[in-house]
Structure 1
Amino acid sequence: MSTIDIVVNPRGKPIRRLPKEVTLPATAPVSDLYKTVAQKSGQSVHRLRITKGSDGSLLSNGSETVHDSGLRAQSVVYVKDLGPQLGWRFVYVIEYLGPLVIPPIFLYLLRPYLYFNFEQIPEPSELQQIVCAALFVHFLKREFETIFIHRFSLATMPARNIFKNCGHYWALAGVNIAYWVFRPDSPTATDSLHPVLYYGGLALFVFGELANLNAHLILRSLRRPGTTERGIPKGFGFGLVTCPNYMFEIIAWIGIYFLTGLSWSVFLFLVVGTLQMWAWAKKKERRYRQEFGDKYKRKRFTVLPPLL
């Protein structure tokens, strides 16, 4: 078991200079297959997805050996060009930038122009300024975590996704929330919000943000820099649900929902975001079960007991 010849075919559109065959040591990591194909075809390794011809399963660009991945002499692999890529970190920074700056711009700079149809446009209420600060703190924290805390299992994502991601955050969390919550006739335009909504909302927001940060720090500690390997997450919230970072994110947004006097615009973003995080968490639960087997304590709820 010294070296093996692997047959390489394109999947989808042709890839210029794609080699028809690659020879590798059987003990080489699969990452060497990616690097060799990328080098010979002149493509970035991040643009390539390689699957096995035998069953169509993905060959992970990691440390598993070529032999252990199931490849043998004359095994066929298919290479797909994923198109132009952008770094995950860059995409996150851009998508969070919109809802970070849109609320203060709407509340302070564009207020006379957005609400010109009102006979009188009062100064922003104290509650509107608190909500604006909460939104700013939330997305500033997101930016901080993206730059300094998160470690990504994949280096890049398709460049076209940035438009979809930015559309979600800039429109739904930025323009949609800021316009309606900061209107002169919004429930937040008064400082007499019900004490339960006000103090309850503040408590949920602060708790959710701090607990979410703690969950992200735990997840960071599970993955060594420059690797895709991870351990079983343990700590506050991880014994209850698969993704407590999502659970605490939802709690923080429930707090904002209360602070805005139960604004429908915040509720819309909360529902859409919760459903998306639920879908991600279900996939992560399946991945944990496959990866860790009996070592992993299965969770009945993935993001929000007793519902999801």
Structure 2
Amino acid sequence: MVSLTILSAPKPPSLARGFPLTIEVAPEATVADVKASITAKFPKFSTSRQKVSVKDDKKALEDETKLADVLGEQLRDGELQVKDLGPQIGWRTVFLVEYAGPLLIHPLFYHLPQVFYGKEVQHSALQKYVYAFVMLHFIKRELETIFVHRFSHGTMPLLNIFKNSAHYHIFSGFFLALDVYRSKFSATSPYIVGTYRDNEKFLWVSAGMWAFAEISNLHTHLTLRNLRPANTRKRAIPYGYGFSLVSCPNYFFEAVAWGVICVMTGSVAAFVFSGLAVGQMALWAIKKHKNYKKDFGKEYPRGRKAMFPFVL
């Protein structure tokens, strides 16, 4: 066993006032072992709240990182420090809460229009299609969260759940529902009657394109799941459907699905939410694309873009 000193970040953890702390670790110990030792000393300072890094380095060390790789074989070439990240919440819980918002909000506007608009609304076929698309999309997302997704990071700061949820609850929940279920899109509205939005073939083609995008998105998620064994952060180069052109086809297909709803409705709320969502997904895709190229170097296919084939 080797003695290792753990310092606190500039602001001492509120749940652990005994730093610097000396612990005994095996030569082959990992960062996860260090976190477990800290929690053993301070039970309220859970491992999920701990950010462990090399002294004077802000970059967090992954749990599976071996101490010998960052401190030298004798574990004496440096010191570690720990920072309290504050209360945490699991990513799976965050996703479930995010997607639950639209699932609760849309039925209220759709089935109780007199409450929100002060009158009944005779729903058009367009409204019925959009309602079905939104509900099926977020039901799919909830099921994927439970049964498909494997998260590289187990938790996030608790307060972030309010920021993350606001995007879905407000923009794809309240604003979208408020706009698309009002009388402007009803069965008797001039905006609908006699236009392509009331054309059965147009609605069926739209439904087909939307279903294609959603199924393709699911296929991408299943491919990514199969690349990562359970309870690991293993990364591998994804191949197959969609990945021949972009690094993040799941984002591309989701953009297509919401684009279909935008074209179908012409709803300002739909365009605003889709614009925000696509912009955020593009940022994520660019970051993931760069990480793939950094991690795999020349092995990573050179012709791929980040999110949009041949463009970005």
Extract unaligned runs of 5+ from structure 2. none
In the alignment, does 2:138 pair up with 1:133? Answer: no
Is residue 177–residue 266 contact of structure 1 (8 Å, CA) maintained in 2? yes
Q: Which amino acid aligns with 1:303?
A: M
What does the per-residue CA deviation read over 1:210-268, in whole Å, with 9 as the maximum and x for residues that have no partner?
Answer: 000000000000111111113211111112111001011101111111222x2111111
Against the structure 1 CA distance between its residues 193 and 151, is the aligned structure 2 distance closer, same or farther, given a 3 Å change threshold? farther
Give the equivalent residue in structure 2 for 1:113: 115
Give the equivalent residue in structure 2 for 1:186: 185
Output the CA distance in 2 between the equivalents of 1:229 and 1:192. 54
Q: Residue 11 of structure 2 is aligned with which of 10, 13, 34? A: 13
Give the equivalent residue in structure 2 for 1:45: 47
TM-aligned CA deviation for residue 286 of structure 1: 1.9
What does the per-residue CA deviation read over 1:118-160, in whole Å, with 9 as the maximum and x for residues that have no partner?
Answer: xx64322222111101100000000000001001111111110
Is residue 71–residue 79 contact of structure 2 (8 Å, CA) maintained in 1? no
Is residue 122–residue 186 contact of structure 2 (8 Å, CA) maintained in 1? no
Output the CA distance in 1 between the equivalents of 2:142 and 2:10. 36
Output the CA distance in 2 between the equivalents of 1:145 and 1:136. 14
Q: Residue 95 of structure 2 is aligned with which of 92, 96, 99? A: 92
* Secondary structure of 2:66 counterpart: coil
Give the equivalent residue in structure 1 for 2:59: 57
Is residue 127–residue 186 contact of structure 2 (8 Å, CA) maintained in 1? no
In the alignment, does 2:254 pair up with 1:249? Answer: yes
What does the per-residue CA deviation read over 1:16-43, in whole Å, with 9 as the maximum and x for residues that have no partner?
Answer: 2345223322222222122112222321
In the alignment, does 2:169 pair up with 1:165? Answer: no
* Secondary structure of 2:232 counterpart: coil
Is residue 124–residue 186 contact of structure 2 (8 Å, CA) maintained in 1? no
Give the equivalent residue in structure 2 for 1:267: 271
How many residues align? The count is 300
TM-aligned CA deviation for residue 192 of structure 1: 4.4
TM-aligned CA deviation for residue 65 of structure 1: 1.8
Give the equivalent residue in structure 2 for 1:281: 285
Output the CA distance in 2 between the equivalents of 1:44 and 1:173. 35
* Secondary structure of 2:229 counterpart: coil
TM-aligned CA deviation for residue 291 of structure 1: 2.0
Output the CA distance in 1 between the equivalents of 2:306 and 2:87. 33
Output the CA distance in 2 between the equivalents of 1:231 and 1:92. 24
Give the equivalent residue in structure 2 for 1:27: 28
Give the equivalent residue in structure 2 for 1:304: 308
TM-aligned CA deviation for residue 201 of structure 1: 2.5
* Secondary structure of 1:7 counterpart: strand
Is residue 5–residue 75 contact of structure 1 (8 Å, CA) maintained in 2? no
Output the CA distance in 2 between the equivalents of 1:146 and 1:193. 38
Q: Which amino acid aligns with 2:253?
A: F
Give the equivalent residue in structure 2 for 1:150: 149
Q: What is the root-mean-square deviation in Å for CA atoms of aligned residues? A: 2.0
* Secondary structure of 1:154 counterpart: coil
TM-score (norm 2): 0.89
Q: Which amino acid aligns with 1:112?
A: Q
Output the CA distance in 1 between the equivalents of 2:231 and 2:205. 41
Output the CA distance in 2 between the equivalents of 1:4 and 1:293. 36
Extract unaligned runs of 5+ from structure 1. none
Against the structure 1 CA distance between its residues 4 and 283, is the aligned structure 2 distance closer, same or farther, given a 3 Å change threshold? farther
Against the structure 1 CA distance between its residues 192 and 11, is the aligned structure 2 distance closer, same or farther, given a 3 Å change threshold? farther
Output the CA distance in 1 between the equivalents of 2:243 and 2:54. 34
Is residue 19–residue 37 contact of structure 1 (8 Å, CA) maintained in 2? no
Output the CA distance in 2 between the equivalents of 1:9 and 1:192. 72
